[in-house]
């Protein structure tokens, strides 16, 4: 898990120096604000909206022509024109309304007495006295109150000037996105410039006021006024925990429309200064990003994991790098690049990738080229990853594929016959001292590196009428190795090969009928299925284990001959699987509402091939579960149910039952509710017998019977308020695994997300609970709309923890 943040909050400095206050805000009725009333659209978080009324004067025949209307008009002594009463002037898209206006003799400037109103496209300015150029866009208004309708931006200024280039300059001014009747926040600066064409504004000597109380000061501030990206400082982030102070100040560089960067200096009191950055780019069909961080000479600091030593990296440089790029040369030829590295396996435990870091177990490394043709699928890649364990033993280091070449193809005929070709050649390597591994037969095998070629031609025939199907298939699995044991003293063979024929016959019938249930018409199917598979046993005890794991039993395993993933083991099998399924479809739409399936396999021979690869059965005394799985006559009875109860309620159920021992080996039940307005409810139960899942390393397999309960929900109260929660309980060990409680408030001009989470970290060992430990954190995000946000982002936490819930974007 990333760096623990027990409290995050807005960093503030008291504003220094005196500032003249902007004028008092006008009532909402004078700022083109119209309350929604009963006409509020769905999802509205504001109580109203800004609506610009129609112009009161028609435009001139040319953009430079000035049109006027007034109750009275007269000429002055010096050739000036005096307009009185309800005076209107319009030039292009600008319209001025005032009780008294004087136009000079040159007819290029109008001087208006307040209160005046100036309108332009999406702009309202009300104020006192002012002057307006009649041959340019320049204007100046005292005691101004302004609204940018589309940007929902308003404010007040002692003086507002519209410059000839179209920008607006405001003196002793404020701005906010809050509704006119709200004083939640505003920014006040003594020199504010708004550039509507560029989409941003700047402010000097700016202070943030919350409820008219100054809480933050910037000597200079750049802020967006629309959705366009802008360079500038992002909101700082402060974390305070038992480990000390954690402060970050990101700066965003909008370098070009197709590439940008972010630089983030971050100060951690227990570690020092960490400099992070990210660069993103998009060029034609290619896109990518590179990110990383570097800390020189770590001060040490406590480890979040009590099983690790504190100050383990004192004086060492800490860093990480992650580069990724993908693109295509043509519609059929694509490439993908990724390279990640970290200074040590504890980097992300101590620092995290971001403040909302989810668990990072490894960093991928690969270069991949894919070709997708109508017949052939080709792939060439070099692949590996850095496993982020601390400490990382040699025997746990992953294999690199340098390279891996794949060529697959399929041909089909109208008669139902098809031919398939699968092939792969890979060189496996890892950086270990082979002689340092324990002196056992297992580690003799695991010390091997080398080349593996796997060829799998197949021939089949598929008869597929509407009432059923029949598919016999024959596949030949050929594997050859050329191995290297390095400096390890072993007499194991270095050149190995294996050929295993795999045959199967899959068949099924489909019966259909129409029926009426619950006042609705349905179409029901009844589908019996019979499947036979045979693969002989071949001694594979000398073979390495590069990428193979034994699969856990499931309903899908009934209908496949393969007992292992990867290509280093081919399991022997001689089984007959039988099953029955039924489905219910809505007759009108054809949508499936319910699916129920039951099946079982009858084993005609013992399964002697395990991960050890030899032809001997597991020892009953040492490993009873493995012996029983290899010698049992029948598989568990597999049952699965998917039921779309209504458009909003659904359930899924799985049950694997061993009728010979009268024991449930695995079961899972889930109930889900989804509402179009964002409500979500998830209830889950899971049971798994110890030893049921043989996949993975020994430390990754359960050392106890697992029984867990899981409940999560998201409840949306209108458009503004979301309440979320999750609770996961380990009934076997009588402990809470995960607790999450959060709220989100989305208002007109601000948003808040707060989440408290406490969870169990298993220290990457599922076989024991002795080294587990508790972690916890308070995650806070506060966003001032139109200005930015501060604190820990919780969107990812909410979405990952509550299936079906999408936080409302701010």
- 589 CB contacts (<8 Å, ≥6 apart)? none
Number of residues that make up the chain: 810
pLDDT computed for residue 355 by the predictor: 42
pLDDT computed for residue 589 by the predictor: 81
pLDDT tens per residue, range 499-558? 999 999 999 999 999 988 878 889 999 999 999 999 999 999 999 999 999 999 999 999
- 233 CB contacts (<8 Å, ≥6 apart)? 218, 221, 222, 249, 250, 251, 252
Letter string b/e over residues 474-492, b meaning 16 or more CB atoms within 10 A of that residue's CB: ebebebebebebeebebeb
pLDDT computed for residue 18 by the predictor: 47
Q: Which of 792, 789, 804, 802 is nearest to 233 (CA)?
A: 789
- Assigned token pair, 753: 């997300």
pLDDT tens per residue, range 588-625? 788 999 999 999 999 999 999 999 999 999 999 988 98
Contact (Cβ atoms closer than 8 angstroms) between residue 513 and residue 521: no
Letter string b/e over residues 401-416, b meaning 16 or more CB atoms within 10 A of that residue's CB: beebebbebeeeeeee
**pLDDT beyond 50 at 11:** no
Indicate the SS3 state at residue 767.
coil
Helical (H) or strand (E) element with 404: strand 400-412
pLDDT tens per residue, range 78-88? 788 899 988 99
What is the pLDDT confidence band of residue 15, given thresholds at 50, 70 and 90?
A: very low
Dist CA 360 CA 346 (whole Å): 10
Radius of gyration for the alpha carbons in the chain, expressed in angstroms and rounded: 35
- 767 CB contacts (<8 Å, ≥6 apart)? 698, 699, 700, 701, 702, 703
Beta pairing class for 564-565 and 549-550? antiparallel
pLDDT tens per residue, range 40-87? 887 788 889 999 999 999 988 888 888 989 988 888 777 888 999 889
Q: Which domains does the chain have, with CATH numbers?
A: 9-230 (2.60.450.10), 231-392 (no CATH)
What is the pLDDT confidence band of residue 689, given thresholds at 50, 70 and 90?
A: very high
Helical (H) or strand (E) element with 664: strand 663-674
Neighbours of 543 (CB within 10 A): 25
**pLDDT beyond 50 at 356:** no
CA 237, 243, 249 angle in degrees (round to 5)? Answer: 20
What is the pLDDT confidence band of residue 3, given thresholds at 50, 70 and 90?
A: very low
Residue whose structure tokens are 């700022």: 31
What is the pLDDT confidence band of residue 359, given thresholds at 50, 70 and 90?
A: low
pLDDT computed for residue 676 by the predictor: 85
Dist CA 543 CA 496 (whole Å): 7
Average pLDDT over residues 27-38: 91
| Peptide bond before residue 115 is cis, with ω within 30 degrees of 0 | yes
Q: State the number of CA atoms in the 13 A half-sphere of 78 facing the CB.
A: 6
**pLDDT beyond 80 at 352:** no
Indicate the SS3 state at residue 631.
helix
Residue whose structure tokens are 């100060």: 267
Indicate the SS3 state at residue 289.
strand
Residue whose structure tokens are 């039951």: 598
CA 698, 707, 731 angle in degrees (round to 5)? Answer: 115
pLDDT tens per residue, range 290-311? 999 999 999 887 776 777 777 7
Residue 225's alpha-carbon distances to 84, 149, 200, 376, 785, in angstroms, are 37, 11, 5, 52, 10
> Between 261 and 797, whose confidence is greater?
261
- Assigned token pair, 786: 């139109």
**pLDDT beyond 70 at 243:** no
Q: Which residues pair with 586 in a beta bridge?
A: 522
pLDDT computed for residue 8 by the predictor: 32
**pLDDT beyond 70 at 357:** no
- Assigned token pair, 196: 């509507």
Dist CA 707 CA 729 (whole Å): 8
**pLDDT beyond 90 at 258:** yes
Least confident of 12-21, 570-579, 784-793: 12-21
pLDDT computed for residue 14 by the predictor: 35
pLDDT computed for residue 45 by the predictor: 85
pLDDT tens per residue, range 145-158? 999 998 899 999 99
Q: Which of 225, 274, 282, 224 is nearest to 252 (CA)?
A: 224
Q: Is the pTM of this model over 0.85?
A: no
Mean pLDDT, the chain, whole residue set: 88
- 258 CB contacts (<8 Å, ≥6 apart)? 281, 282, 283
Q: Which residues pair with 712 in a beta bridge?
A: 682, 726
Contact (Cβ atoms closer than 8 angstroms) between residue 127 and residue 145: yes
The secondary structure of 15-72, three-state, reads: CCCCCCCCCCCCCHHHCCEEECHHHCCCCCCCCEEECCCCCCCCCCCCCCCEEEECCE
pLDDT tens per residue, range 476-498? 999 999 999 988 888 889 999 99
- Assigned token pair, 49: 């909206």
The beta-strand segments (E) located in 128-184 are 130-133, 139-148, 153-162, 168-175
Q: Which of 506, 557, 554 is nearest to 527 (CA)?
A: 506
pLDDT computed for residue 353 by the predictor: 58
Burial of 632 (0-12, 13-18, 19+ CB in 10 A): middle
């Amino acid at each position: 898990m990333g760096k623990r943040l027990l409290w995050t909050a807005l960093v503030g400095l008291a504003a220094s120096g005196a500032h003249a206050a902007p004028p008092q805000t006008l009532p909402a009725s004078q700022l083109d604000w119209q309350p929604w009333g009963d006409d509020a659209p769905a999802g509205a978080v504001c109580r109203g909206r800004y609506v610009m009324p129609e112009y009161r004067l028609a435009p001139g025949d040319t953009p430079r022509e000035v049109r006027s209307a007034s109750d009275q008009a007269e000429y002055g002594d010096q050739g000036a024109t005096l307009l009185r009463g309800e005076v209107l002037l319009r030039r292009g898209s600008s319209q001025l309304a005032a009780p008294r206006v004087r136009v000079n003799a040159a007819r290029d400037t109008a001087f208006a007495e307040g209160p005046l109103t100036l309108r332009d496209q999406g702009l309202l300015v009300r104020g006192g006295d002012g002057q307006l150029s009649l041959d340019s866009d320049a204007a100046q208004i005292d005691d101004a109150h302004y609204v940018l309708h589309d940007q929902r931006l308003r404010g007040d200024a002692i003086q507002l000037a519209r410059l000839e280039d179209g920008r607006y300059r405001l003196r002793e001014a404020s701005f906010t996105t809050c509704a006119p009747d709200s004083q939640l926040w505003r920014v006040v600066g003594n020199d504010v410039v708004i550039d509507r064409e560029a989409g941003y504004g700047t402010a000097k000597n700016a202070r943030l006021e919350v409820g008219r109380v100054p809480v933050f000061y910037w000597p200079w501030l750049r802020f967006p006024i629309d959705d366009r990206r802008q360079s500038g400082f992002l909101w700082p982030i402060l974390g305070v925990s038992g480990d000390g102070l954690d402060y970050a100040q990101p700066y965003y560089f909008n370098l070009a429309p197709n590439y940008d960067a972010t630089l983030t200096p971050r100060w951690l009191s227990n570690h020092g200064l960490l400099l992070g950055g990210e660069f993103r780019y998009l060029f034609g069909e290619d896109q990518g990003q590179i990110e990383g961080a570097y800390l020189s000479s770590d001060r040490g600091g406590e480890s979040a994991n009590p099983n690790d030593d504190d100050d383990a990296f004192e004086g060492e440089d800490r860093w990480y790098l992650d580069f990724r790029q993908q693109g295509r040369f043509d519609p059929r030829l694509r490439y993908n690049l990724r390279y990640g590295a970290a200074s040590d396996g504890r980097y992300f435990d101590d620092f995290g990738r971001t403040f909302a870091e989810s668990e990072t177990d490894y960093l991928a490394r690969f270069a991949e080229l894919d070709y997708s043709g109508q017949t052939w699928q080709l792939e060439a890649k070099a692949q590996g990853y850095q496993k982020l364990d601390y400490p990382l033993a040699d025997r746990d280091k992953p294999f690199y594929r340098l390279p891996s070449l794949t060529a697959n193809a399929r041909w089909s005929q109208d008669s139902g016959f098809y031919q398939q070709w699968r092939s792969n050649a890979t060189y496996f390597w890892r950086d270990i001292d082979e002689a340092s591994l324990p002196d056992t037969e297992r580690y003799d095998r695991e010390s091997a590196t080398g080349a593996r070629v796997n060829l799998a031609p197949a021939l089949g025939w598929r008869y597929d009428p509407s009432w059923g199907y029949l598919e016999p298939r024959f596949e030949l699995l050929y594997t050859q190795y050329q191995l290297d044991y390095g400096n390890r003293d072993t007499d194991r063979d270095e050149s190995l090969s294996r050929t295993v024929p795999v045959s199967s016959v899959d068949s099924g019938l489909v019966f259909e009928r129409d029926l009426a249930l619950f006042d609705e018409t349905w179409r029901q199917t009844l589908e019996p299925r019979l499947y036979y598979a045979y693969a002989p046993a071949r001694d594979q005890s000398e073979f390495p284990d590069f990428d193979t794991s034994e699969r856990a039993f499931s309903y899908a395993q009934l209908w496949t001959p393969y007992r292992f993933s990867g290509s280093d083991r081919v399991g022997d099998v001689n089984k007959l699987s039988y099953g029955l399924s039924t489905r219910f479809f809505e007759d009108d739409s054809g949508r499936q509402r319910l699916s129920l399936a039951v099946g079982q396999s009858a084993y005609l021979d013992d399964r002697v091939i395990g991960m050890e690869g030899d032809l001997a059965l597991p020892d009953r005394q040492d490993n009873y579960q493995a012996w029983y799985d290899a010698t049992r006559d029948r598989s568990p009875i597999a049952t699965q149910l998917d039921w779309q109860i209504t458009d909003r309620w659904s359930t899924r159920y799985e049950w694997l039952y061993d009728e010979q021992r009268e024991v449930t080996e695995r079961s899972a039940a889930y109930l889900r509710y989804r509402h179009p307005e964002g409500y979500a409810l998830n209830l889950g139960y899971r049971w798994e017998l110890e030893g049921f899942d043989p996949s993975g390393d020994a430390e990754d397999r359960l050392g106890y019977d697992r029984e867990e309960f899981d409940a999560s929900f998201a409840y949306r109260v209108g458009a503004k308020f979301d309440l979320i929660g999750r609770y996961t309980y380990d009934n076997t060990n009588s402990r809470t695994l995960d607790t999450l409680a959060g709220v989100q408030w989305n208002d007109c001009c601000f948003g808040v997300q707060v989440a408290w989470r406490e969870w169990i970290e298993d220290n990457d060992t599922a076989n024991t609970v002795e080294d587990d430990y508790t972690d916890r954190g308070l995650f806070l995000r506060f966003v001032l709309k139109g200005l930015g946000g501060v604190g820990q982002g919780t969107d990812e936490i909410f979405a990952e923890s509550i299936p079906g819930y999408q936080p409302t974007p701010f």
